[in-house]
């Protein structure tokens, strides 16, 4: 997050990780954005939000917990904060945000399409002062929602060299951790790099998770077997990880 004299920027990086579920929760995303703006903007602008927090905090003492702001409430407060000065919101890796297929025990759970609805409303309420930058893979439910906004498309061929360099660095780290026998096996190293690069699909996240899985394997044979059955998509890999947890 950052704030210049007349321009404030708030940032959130989404991660779909069972260890950090809030990183993929649309409401937590807007809460984090709102919190940054409250910290960065002049106190007179954030006074209504602080007053709301104090009210909820006092009620929480009675009921045992503080009620968290809902998605729409956060969006409305953000619009209010942007009344007098420009605000830029950056949400990185939106595709990692919880999607509509997510099943929750809570009947009122939100997904990334709900988040996009609120973003649309914020921009419509104050198009001069509210600017939003989103980065995402080309997922089917996200693409049609962004067609009416300026888009910059980066293909797999354009970021391929960066992904390959990333894979090589991570594989070197993997082999060093596994010890001398793996570290000196140049053929194994080449096989891992080629397999991960071929299936990267323009993403850093997919090979990163694949390499994390390889850390758990103990033998050369198990690694080669895994390389021949690598999930083709991030969704398939996430499903595999979830099944292992269940």
| Residue range 189-221, pLDDT digits in tens | 899 999 999 988 888 888 998 988 888 888 888
- What local confidence, expressed as pLDDT, does residue 9 receive? 94
pLDDT (mean) for 130-154: 89
Predicted confidence (pLDDT) per residue in 4-26, tens digit: 567 899 999 998 877 788 899 99
2-145 folds as Rossmann fold (3.40.50)
- What local confidence, expressed as pLDDT, does residue 54 receive? 81
Winning range, highest mean pLDDT, from 27-36, 52-61, 207-216? 27-36
Would the pLDDT of 142 be above 60? yes
Q: Domains of the chain: which residue ranges?
A: 2-145, 156-245
Q: Which residues lie closer than 8 Å to 139 by C-beta, 6 or more apart?
A: 95, 99
Any idea what DSSP says for residue 42? Answer: -
Instruction: Tell me how crowded residue 152 is: count the other CB atoms within 10 A of its CB.
Output: 6
Would the pLDDT of 242 be above 80? no
Instruction: Tell me how crowded residue 42 is: count the other CB atoms within 10 A of its CB.
Output: 12
Predicted confidence (pLDDT) per residue in 160-190, tens digit: 899 999 999 998 888 777 775 566 778 888 9
pLDDT (mean) for 49-62: 76
- What local confidence, expressed as pLDDT, does residue 29 receive? 95
- What local confidence, expressed as pLDDT, does residue 78 receive? 94
pLDDT (mean) for 131-154: 89
Distance of CA 130 to the CA centre of its chain: 21
Could you write out the three-class secondary structure of 91-117?
EECHHHCCCCCCCCCCCCCCCHHHHHH
pTM across the whole model: 0.69
């Amino acid at each position: 997050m950052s704030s210049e004299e007349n321009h404030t920027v708030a940032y959130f990086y989404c991660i779909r990780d069972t260890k950090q579920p809030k990183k993929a929760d649309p409401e937590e995303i807007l809460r984090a954005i709102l919190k940054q703006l409250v910290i960065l903007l002049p106190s007179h602008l954030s006074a209504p939000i602080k007053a709301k927090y104090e009210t909820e905090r006092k009620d929480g003492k009675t009921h045992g917990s503080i009620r968290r702001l809902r998605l729409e409430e956060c969006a409305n407060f953000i619009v209010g904060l942007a009344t007098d000065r420009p605000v830029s919101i950056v949400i990185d890796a939106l595709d990692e945000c919880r999607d509509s297929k997510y099943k929750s025990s809570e009947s009122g759970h939100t997904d990334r399409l709900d988040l996009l609805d609120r973003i649309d409303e914020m921009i419509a309420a104050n198009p001069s002062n509210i600017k939003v930058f989103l980065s995402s893979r080309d997922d089917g439910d996200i693409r049609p929602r962004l067609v009416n906004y300026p888009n910059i498309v980066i293909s797999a061929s354009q970021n391929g060299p960066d992904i390959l360099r990333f894979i090589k660095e991570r594989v070197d780290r993997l082999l060093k951790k596994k010890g001398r026998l793996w570290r000196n096996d140049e053929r194994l190293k080449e096989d891992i790099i080629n397999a991960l690069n071929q299936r990267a699909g323009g993403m850093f996240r997919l090979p990163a998770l694949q390499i994390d899985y390889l850390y758990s394997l103990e033998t050369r044979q198990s690694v080669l077997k895994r390389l021949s059955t690598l999930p083709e998509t991030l969704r398939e890999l996430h499903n595999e990880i979830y099944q292992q947890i269940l």
